[in-house]
Structure 1
Amino acid sequence: MRGERRKEKGRSATYIMERPNILSALGTQMVALRAADSEVYIHRALVDNVVMGFGECSWPCFSGATITSFVEYLYQGNYTTPAAVAASSDSPKSTCISLPVLASGAIPLPAPESLDYEKVFPAHAGLFILSRHRNVLPLATLCLKRLEEAMKKAQDASKEHVFVENMRALIRYSYNPCCSGNKGAWEELQKVVSEFLVSKKGWLLTAPGTDLIYGEEKLAKDIFAGAINLLLENDKLLMAAERPKLGVKNTGSKSGEKRQVSTIRIPVKEEVWRGQCLSNGASSPTSLV
């Protein structure tokens, strides 16, 4: 029996999510997943049938909100995306609102409020890590897609200093793993974050952009590697566009001659990854399932 079908459009594909059939699981025992700050309950059959845990990233490494979103996906086939909130003003607001009056007598609309993505970025990133460690790959893909979309929206919807602080928190989480056991998951997250920063190009050379990179050696290396790869891809496109023109200019050359284009490969040494488990106040990582 198939459930409700929902479409979610991405950059190059439309994701069709179906509500999972969980009727058989509803009659099983409820068990508690012990998060860092709370417990989240779920039917045991969903955990036994869907979740394939591995590594050292256990439930207490994650917040109750992250595990709740994970459980929501197991039940619904989707998870609730946190909403950005209005950013607090740096300076105290006056109780008296004074708006300039135009010559026509019309009162201009106030400037739109800056949005704060402080809770949005970590929600997607943390849920991605949890889903990768628990091998729920469709959820992991969905999390990365939503994180990419959120980062793009944030730069347009937030004041620059708010956006920088939101990105700084995301970088700290991505490049300081809270649990070890799955190096590939953290590298995937780091790749998404660094590639987004590379796409900002000139912005990284401004004071806010350089502040994000300062002190983050691994991030700086990832951005450098991403920039080099982007340059190589652009060079390939330029050479492909030039080939027809070169063919016209060289019509007088011998029939056996061919113009050769050499490609330069720049190897980027991968930094040895160090997994660090940050203390979250919980006792030894234990799960009731």
Structure 2
Amino acid sequence: MDNFLLIVFLLSGVSAIGFLLASLVSLIKKNGKAKKQFKITGGLFGAALLSVIIASSISPEVPTTASEETHTEEVKEEKKEEPKEAEKEKPVATVEEAKAKLSIGMTMKDYQDYIDSIKIDLAELYTDGYDGALQQISDGYFFVKTDGVNVVDLQFFTTKEEGSTYVSTKTQEAKAAETAAKRSTAKTIDFPHLEKNPDRYAGEYVTYTGEIVQILEGNGTTNIRLSVTKESYGYSYNDLVFVEYAGYTDFVEGDIVTIYGTVYGSYSYESQAGYNISLPGIIADSVE
């Protein structure tokens, strides 16, 4: 307790006790002073109580030693010097460093672990034909293609344009290979069988070479009536298939073309003479 408050407490307490005794004596003698003395006694007791309350509300300040202050500052300095793991910036990889870490045949896990460990930016993502990603590092780019398990192609470039050109070339090659593979499965169904029941062959991938009897274009679509049976004098106009192609061509009636496409069943239309005509229908993916 503060020294001043202690003195106030002691004086108030002693005086209060003295006035309390005097009040009792006056009360016994009935000299008329008891009421006033009791009021003074209450005031003195109140002063003593107030000094106790004030003293209890004051928390003494514990001085901090010089060594404690120094230790606190050192801890703060250490926290500043050691950033959290998430805040640490990833190293910037160079082409030579990436070449030393990446290779065709490495697993997807090893590839991803390395990518996660360096600073890298996605320059371009390719999903049409030759799927892969062109990644940017500090002094160049690299293209990577995977099969979902391993890295199957890896190329390094100085500029983004070099990488884009490489992917474009590989995409064209991939599409050409896919087309060649698909065409190798194409059939040529004898026309009498195809004409008898076109629906039976719906979904079959076929190829036919024949003469254009009629060709119509419009709304981005080309329709061709194609004669597919060759005889000694030329192609028979009796053996016709109806070809629908998405796009336009430079061909005209009388040209000999080869088509690849999928049989969709029977195509029916009404002739100018009012006859109902049904032909085997083919949706072509190429006319050449």
Q: Taking structure 2 as the reference length, what is the TM-score of the superposition?
A: 0.20
More strand by share: 2
Q: Taking structure 1 as the reference length, what is the TM-score of the superposition?
A: 0.19
More helix by share: 1
